[in-house]
Chains A and B, each alone.
Chain A
Amino acid sequence: GAGVSQSPRYKVAKRGQDVALRCDPISGHVSLFWYQQALGQGPEFLTYFQNEAQLDKSGLPSDRFFAERPEGSVSTLKIQRTQQEDSAVYLCASSFEHRYGNTIYFGEGSWLTVV
C-alpha cells in the first residue's frame, strides 16, 4: 500500500475487554514498530520486529500486552483485560531496513478509549 495502514482507527472498549489492533506496513518493509502515545505526550516505544522476529519488547507495559507478526508483514497488537490507563493512540511504524538512517514511516494510529 501507499502507507502504513492501521485498523480500527477508533476503538471504544469496556474495561476488562480484550482488543486487537492491526497494522499493515508498507510492502517490503522489514522493520515494524509499535508505539503508544498518551494525550499530550510523545510516542513511547513498545516493541520492534525484524521480519517475523520480535527483537525487542522492552517497552510493553505489562503482560497484558502482546504483539505478533507471524508472516513478517501484518502485525497485531493485542491488549487483554483492558484498563483505563491503556487509553491512548497506538502507532505502528515501518522502515525498509533495520539500519540506522532509514526513514521510519508512521501510520495514523488506532485511538483506544477504555471506559
Chain B
Amino acid sequence: QKEVEQDPGPLSVPEGAIVSLNCTYSNSAFQYFMWYRQYSRKGPELLMYTYSSGNKEDGRFTAQVDKSSKYISLFIRDSQPSDSATYLCAMSAVNQGAQKLVFGQGTRLTINP
C-alpha cells in the first residue's frame, strides 16, 4: 500500500461546477500538505500549502486537512476550462528530511465548457 493514495480519475465536470479532490495517507508523521497543479508536459506548480490541520482559502481554491482521519481535500469553486489539469497532493514530514515530498498519483481533471 502506498503512503499516499489518490484516485487517478479521470474526473470530468461542467464549467462552473464545484470540484472536490482528495487524498488519504497512512504516515501520521506528515505535517505539511500541498496541492500541485500539473499541465500536460509541464512541471508541477504549487497551488496550496497547509501546515497541520485546518482550512486554507485562496481565491477559488480551498484546502482542508483532517489529520485525525488522515484525509486532505482540495475544493475548486466556479471551475473554469483553464483548471483542466492533473492535480497532485503532496506531503512531507520533518523526520523524513527537509522538504522531501511524497506525492499522490494525481487526479486528471477536465472542465467542459
Contacts and interface: CB of A to CB of B under 8 A. Distances in A.
Interface of A: 4, 31, 33, 35, 40-45, 48, 50, 55-56, 91, 93, 95, 98-109, 111
B29 interface: no
B98 A104 contact: no
Given A101-B51, A106-B43, A44 B103 contact: yes
A11 B103 CA distance: 25
Contact of A108 (B6, B43, B104): B43
25 contacts: A4-B43, A31-B98, A31-B99, A33-B100, A35-B101, A40-B8, A41-B106, A42-B105, A43-B44, A43-B88, A48-B97, A48-B99, A48-B100, A55-B97, A91-B43, A100-B32, A100-B51, A104-B99, A105-B46, A106-B36, A108-B41, A108-B42, A108-B43, A109-B42, A111-B41
A111 B40 CA distance: 12
Nearest to B100: A45
A98 B99 contact: yes
Given A41-B106, A42-B105, A42-B106, A102 B42 contact: no
